[in-house]
Amino acid sequence: MRLAATLLVWLPAAGCTPRAAPSPGAPARAAPPAIVLIVVDTLRRDHLGCYGYARPTTPTLDRLAAEATRFDDVRSAAPWTTPSVGALLTSQFPTSLAIEATSSPLPDGFATLPELLRDAGWSTAAAVSHTFVSARWRFDRGFERFDDSNALGHGAVTSDAVTERGLAFLDAMVAADPAKPLFLWLHYFDVHYDYVDDPAWSGGGPRDYAGPVKSALEFGELTKLLRRKQLGERDLAEVVRLYDAEIARVDAAIAKVVARLRELGRWDATLLAVTADHGEEFLDHGWLGHLKTLHEELIRVPLIVKWPAGVGPAPGVDARPAATIDLMPTLLEAAGVAPRGTLQGRSLLAPDDGETRARFAETKTTQGIALRSIVVGPWKLVRDDAGDRDHLYRLDRDPAGSRDLLAEAGLDERERAELATRAKQLRARLDAWRAGCEAARRIGEQVELSDAERAALRAIGYGEE
C-alpha cells in the first residue's frame, strides 16, 4: 500500500532569528508568467546523469541542466517527505512546523508559497501522488486546483497520471486567462519504494538475474532479506537497477511537461525548478530506505532551476551552499511577491555575501529517533539527542560521511582536543538554531490514522508507537 520578495528576509547561519534584508537597489526583474515546481520523491542526487551518474536514467533532466543552473551543494531539511516538503513550501524548518510524526500535518501559522502567490493574483494548481503531501495532511493550502487522487499505494505506478492531471490544470489555467501568471506544483512518487521495473527504459525489462529481488517486491520483504543476510551483492545491484528504472520513468514524465510548455509557447518565459524531498540509502551505511538517519545519501539532493528570460544567472553550475528551504524565497523574489513574516531560507538570487553558511537538517520520529545536523564548510556535526552523543565528519576528505572523527582510533591528544573543540563550536551553533526554531513553533491538529493505516506504515518503516 502506498500511503501514501521583492523584499526577502532570511535566517542567519547560527539560528532562527531574523537578519536584516539587503537594501534595495538591484535592477527590477520581469516576473515570469509561469512557475513550475517539480519535486521527485526519494531521488538521490548521485543517480542523475548531470550529477555524474553513468547510467542513462535522466536524459530529460540532463538536457534541462544544460540550459539551467545546476546547484551542486543542496541539502534537504529532513530525510522523509512531510517535514521536507513542508519546509520547502513554507521556508520553515520541521521543528518550527512541529512535524515529528507520520500523523503531523502542515500547521497553520506560516504562509505557504501557493498561498502567497494566489493572494498576489496568481493561478495555483498541484497534482501529487503521496498521502503525506495530500489534502488530508493540509498540503492543499493555497491551491485553487488540487489533485491527490494518485496517492494509490507503494506498488502503484502513477507518474503518467500525475503528469496528465498537471497538464490538464496547466491547460485550464492558460485557457481561463492567458495573461494571468500561474504556479504549478507536481510531486512524483514512483521513485519511492516499492521499486517497479520500467521495460520502456533502456536498462529495464528482462534480465539474467534470477535471485529473490523482484519488481514491485514489498519493501518489508526486502528488509527481511537484509536482516536474514540473504541480500548479496548481485541482489543489491538488482535493487539499485529497479530504483534507477523508476527514475527513468519519472524523467520520461517530466519530458511531457517540458514538451507541453514548449507547445504553449511558454517555455522561454517559464521558471522550472526540479528537486527532491530526500534521497535513499542502499547499504551506504548498512541499511535500506530513508527516514532514520541524516547521512549524505539522504540529505544532499539535486536542484536544477531553468530561469526565464531576464531572471537569474546564465546556465552553469552553482557550487554555493544551498538548501531546499531556499526555494520559496527564491521563487517569491522571481515572482515579485513579498513574504509574510520571517523565512528561514534565503533567496538563491541574492548575491554571495562571502559568509560561510551553515545548513541544518533534522529527523525526529516516534521510534526513538532524534537527530539534527549542521554543515559549515567541510565540517558536518550530527547530534543524536536520543543517544546523547555527537558525530563529526570532514566532508572534503570523506564525501560520503563514513568516518566519525570523534570515534577514530589512533589520534594523538592534540588531534582529539582540536576535534573536540570543533565539535563544541558546531554544537553551540546547532543548539542556538534549534532554540530559535522552538520559539517559532506552531503545532497543527494531528491526522487521525486508522489501525490499518498504522499497520501499513509500520510495515514500511514508518512505525508509530
Sign of CA dihedral 298, 126, 118, 101: negative
pLDDT at residue number 455: 67
Task: Tell whether 434 and 296 lie within a shared domain.
Answer: no
Q: What is the CA radius of gyration of the chain?
A: 21
If pLDDT is split at 50, 70 and 90, which confidence band does 58 have?
very high
pLDDT at residue number 310: 84
Question: Above 90 in pLDDT, residue 192?
Answer: yes
Mean of the pLDDT values across residues 169-175?
96
Strand partners, 303: 71, 275
Number of other CB atoms surrounding residue 378 within 10 Å: 12
67, three cell numbers? 540550459
Task: Tell whether 289 and 427 lie within a shared domain.
Answer: no
**CATH, residue 387:** 3.30.1120
Mean of the pLDDT values across residues 215-242?
95
CA distance 456 to 465: 13
Query: Is residue 3, in this structure, part of any structural domain at all?
Result: no
Averaged pLDDT of the chain: 89
Among candidate residues 325, 349, 373, the one where a domain is terminated: 349
Give me the number of domains the chain comprises: 2
Task: Tell whether 166 and 260 lie within a shared domain.
Answer: yes
369, three cell numbers? 529517533
CA distance 355 to 376: 10
Task: Tell whether 215 and 186 lie within a shared domain.
Answer: yes
pLDDT at residue number 230: 94
Residue 99 or residue 6, greater confidence: 99
Task: Tell whether 319 and 402 lie within a shared domain.
Answer: no
Query: Is residue 270, in this structure, part of any structural domain at all?
Result: yes
Task: Tell whether 128 and 76 lie within a shared domain.
Answer: yes
**CATH, residue 179:** 3.40.720.10
193: CB partners within 8 A, 6+ apart: 42, 154, 219, 222, 280, 289, 460
Mean of the pLDDT values across residues 427-442?
94
Strand partners, 322: 74
Question: Above 60 in pLDDT, residue 465?
Answer: no
Task: Tell whether 50 and 178 lie within a shared domain.
Answer: yes
pLDDT, one tens digit per residue, over 344-380 is 999 999 988 777 889 999 998 767 899 999 999 999 9
Sign of CA dihedral 217, 221, 224, 225: negative
If pLDDT is split at 50, 70 and 90, which confidence band does 417 have?
very high
Question: Above 90 in pLDDT, residue 243?
Answer: yes
Task: Tell whether 75 and 205 lie within a shared domain.
Answer: yes
pLDDT at residue number 3: 38
Query: Is residue 436, in this structure, part of any structural domain at all?
Result: yes
pLDDT at residue number 189: 94
Question: Above 80 in pLDDT, residue 11?
Answer: no
pLDDT at residue number 368: 80
Strand partners, 128: 187
Helix residue ranges per DSSP H, 264-347: 296-299, 327-335
Q: Which domain holds residue 368?
A: 361-459
Phi, psi of 427 (to 5 degrees): -65, -40
What is the rounded (10 degree) CA torsion for 247, 130, 88, 82? -120
Query: Is residue 11, in this structure, part of any structural domain at all?
Result: no
pLDDT at residue number 365: 76
Task: Tell whether 162 and 275 lie within a shared domain.
Answer: yes
Query: Is residue 169, in this structure, part of any structural domain at all?
Result: yes
- Candidates 71, 108, 114, 109; CA nearest to 89 is 114
Query: Is residue 6, in this structure, part of any structural domain at all?
Result: no
Helix residue ranges per DSSP H, 41-133: 59-66, 81-90, 94-97, 113-119
Among candidate residues 300, 315, 349, the one where a domain is terminated: 349
Query: Is residue 18, in this structure, part of any structural domain at all?
Result: no
Query: Is residue 68, in this structure, part of any structural domain at all?
Result: yes
pLDDT at residue number 100: 86
pLDDT, one tens digit per residue, over 403-415 is 999 999 888 999 9
If pLDDT is split at 50, 70 and 90, which confidence band does 391 have?
very high
Task: Tell whether 374 and 269 lie within a shared domain.
Answer: no
Phi, psi of 394 (to 5 degrees): -115, 105
pLDDT, one tens digit per residue, over 257-275 is 999 999 999 999 999 999 9
pLDDT at residue number 456: 62
Task: Tell whether 298 and 378 lie within a shared domain.
Answer: no
CA distance 188 to 409: 44
pLDDT, one tens digit per residue, over 374-387 is 999 999 999 999 99
Phi, psi of 304 (to 5 degrees): -125, 125
pLDDT at residue number 453: 66
Among candidate residues 305, 325, 349, the one where a domain is terminated: 349
Task: Tell whether 90 and 178 lie within a shared domain.
Answer: yes
Percent of the chain predicted with pLDDT > 90: 76
